[in-house]
Structure 1
């Protein structure tokens, strides 16, 4: 009875070693899956792949490769997101990869790098439809305003990479709409903490002010050309 092999009472029921066939319920403690083995849902077969899984790579992956990631598959296409390693035990970047299920086998990547920069395979775009805007005011005096800006290269306290750009405080003095100020102190990897940290909408500011400055230059050139024509005519 209770001591028969293959029964619950004997303790060697094969159902103890697998979750196959189980339905519902809860696991009330931690579950650890060794590196190299994935935890996932959905079918993964040669004819159908509509699945998602989490994987910690087993062994030492090459520099720049994923060490752990979430993977979302739809047949031959997939999205993979996770950490890529550096040359040692450092993190190189957090990456989002998309393989498009097309004849060219297109793969795209968006990366958030360890130095604080970000980049992608394509252009970053923002909505700019006039129907979503109101109270429009055209910028004036852009040429004189941007002439006073400091255009600089610089280093950051928490990065070894040299950067190039503008200073938020300088831009805020002439275009406060381009500045967002944090409501909470911003903390950086070197331990520094900056209250009321200023963020700059660099794409919006440069697009508006640079184009307006070009328009103002164009108007000045036309004025000078008219003056030249007048002077040429008066001397004939």
Structure 2
């Protein structure tokens, strides 16, 4: 009898195997079990910067994406650590590039209006972003609009991630993945709305000549495909 137990997978290994085979509940349980660890690792690396939540969500999404490629399933936690560290390094590289670009564009002159101007500019930018998100949300599916409403409440401090997960009927880890996917689709919709408002792209004008102006799934795909490959409509590579 004892010989039959030799080489038997541990419960954790069995969970990884089930997740790799497409068991959604296993994926949810697996990710939920790693959320706290990933948060701690990212938080320490970024010194609990405001971007921690974004990096954690992208890390969890990357873990789900790459889960089928894991070979040493008995070393799942070290693999998660490696994925997390790569996402942190990628974020830091992007942050350094953004800071360098900003420093290059900044003129070394004192602002006579001081902090008041900075606050006014920030409030104006936030208001413009809110309007843009409202318009872009019309391109989202009903499920994504529901998730966007939950995420807005969470970012405003009115609810917690656990409450968002409960509203979706999933674990915290899978909720983070779904929020991140929704935000990716929202970002694409915002790029579309900016391109449509700005005009100036002959290809986009020709493409939308037969469009009735109402958001729908078919036109979302067409416009997203165009803006992703058009430097005029996506000058910053958003």
TM-score (norm 2): 0.18
Higher relative contact order (CA 8 A, sep 6+): 2
Instruction: Decide which structure has the larger Cα Rg and report it.
Output: 1
More helix by share: 2
TM-score after normalising by structure 1: 0.18
Q: 1 or 2, which has the higher strand percentage? A: 1
